[in-house]
Structure 1
Amino acid sequence: MKILIIEDEPQMLQNMRQTLEREQYTVETASDYETAKSKIGIYDYDCILLDITLPNGNGLELLKLVKQLGKDDGVIIVSAKDSLDDRIKGLNLGADDYLPKPFHMAELHARVNAIVRRRTFDGNKFIEIGNVNIDPDSRSVHINENEVVLNRKEYDVLWYMVANKTRLVTKTALAEHVWGDHIDQTDSFDFIYSQIKNLRKKLSDAAATIEIEAVYGVGYKLLVL
């Protein structure tokens, strides 16, 4: 799952990032309005953690931008502004939740998890597709009730394909979502091919009734057999 943290306080930004990375999220950050605006325009996220007060801009304008672009990124406003007016404005603009500072990092993780589940998998605790069962909390995968051990990136690829099971996923979208925006620094998708190859073999060996099909020159699509 891919998270964007928009926060201008360095220590708070670092704490939030470390907390979510420990939970195996792919995390990107922005500490000012213009950087955040650029990332929102280019990339898609499972959840955006949005501070209201930012250098050179207001976080609520970024929330408006998310909606104007027709994106379905979940948005949690994370701000020291705890007035009723700010909360109502944010929720009326389409925010999914409001978390006032200060807060415990365990609560942050719980809120993010709830948003991702609600928006992507209708709030279900376990994700089932074909004979594959995924537990997001433990990041475990079972096929026919037998556990299939995946490394971090194999799991992230599977999760993203399942979340987009009705869509054709391009190589670029998959790379950006699973590996983050530093993907811009590479000129090869060989690392994607490697993870997909390994994941396909593990699914096949476990007799999974799902399959990742390559669409030549474009990307991948998840099939339920």
Structure 2
Amino acid sequence: MKVLIVEDNRELASGISDFLNGEKYICELAYDFESAREKLALFTYDCILLDIMLPDGNGLELLKLIRKENISSGVLIISAKDALDDKVNGLEGGADDYVTKPFHLPELHARLRAIYRRKKLEGSNLITFNEIVLNTDTVEALVNNTLLDVTRKEFDLLLYFIVNKNRVLSKQSIASHLWGDYTDSLANFDFVYQHVKNLRKKISALQGVDYIETVYGLGYKFNTSKT
């Protein structure tokens, strides 16, 4: 999962990022309204952790922008405020959940996972497409009922393809989603090609259909019409 943490308390933001990185999440940080707005204009995220009180604006205004621009990211509001009207305004404004500081990081993690399941995985931890089954809780993949020997990055790559099936995904977007926004400045994305190649080879070895096709000059697509 790729998460944008919008929090002006750098120590807290760093602590959240370190914890989620330990859970194999990709985290990007924004310490104010404007930098968050810029990141949202350039990159995509599965979930956004959004503080209400920012030094140059209000998190609820950023939430309005997120929904106005039809950004599909899940939004979890984090705030020191415990006022009922803040919760109501946040949830009615389109936030998916709300947590009040101080909070326990495992609880934050659980809320993020729940949002991701609802928004991206239709509420389930099991993602099934024909002979392929992914379990996001155990981080295991099956092909034709046989365990697929994949790395964490390969698992995340396959999940990213299935969640975005039939959409052309550029190498740059794949790199950004799985390795972070810093990859935007890289000269090439040969490492993406290698990961895709390895994943396709492993699926084929278990007699799975090679749904991943190369769209020359653009990137890759998980083509559900293949049989």
CA–CA separation in structure 2 for the residues paired with 1:35 and 1:149 = 39
Match in the other structure for 1:54: 54
Q: What SS is found at the alignment partner of 1:70? A: coil
TM-score (norm 2): 0.95
Structure 1 unmatched runs, 5+: none
8 Å CA contact 1:118–1:124 kept in 2: the answer is yes
Cα deviations by residue, 1:80-101 (Å, 9 ceiling, x for unpaired): 1111111111111100000111
Residue 63 of structure 1: SS of its match in structure 2?
Answer: helix
The aligned counterpart of 2:67 is: 67
Deviations 1:101-124 (A, max 9, x none): 111111111100011110111101
Deviant stretches of 4+, over 6 Å: none
Root-mean-square deviation (CA, aligned residues, Å) is 1.1
Amino acid paired to 2:166: T
Distance in 2, matches of 1:57 and 1:145, equals 51
C-alpha distance in 2, partners of 1:138/1:89? 35
Rounded to whole Å, the distance in 2 between the matches of 1:89 and 1:65 is 14
Specify every segment of 5 or more residues in structure 2 that has no aligned partner in the other structure, as ranges. none
Q: Which residue number corresponds to residue 208 of structure 1?
A: 208
SS in 2 for 1:161: helix
- Classify the secondary structure of the residue corresponding to 1:149: coil
91-100 or 162-171: bigger deviation: 162-171
Contact 2:79 2:99 in 1 (8 A): yes
1:37 aligns with 2:37: yes
Deviation at 1:172, TM superposition (A): 2.1
Letter in structure 2 aligned against 1:125? N
Equivalenced residue count is: 225
Q: Separation in 1 of the partners of 2:5 and 2:165?
A: 26
* Residues 130, 210 of structure 1: 8 Å contact kept: no
Give the superposition deviation at 1:136: 0.7
Compare 88-97 and 146-155 and name the one that shifted more: 146-155
Counterpart secondary structure, 2:211: strand
2 CA distance for matches of 1:184 and 1:213? 23
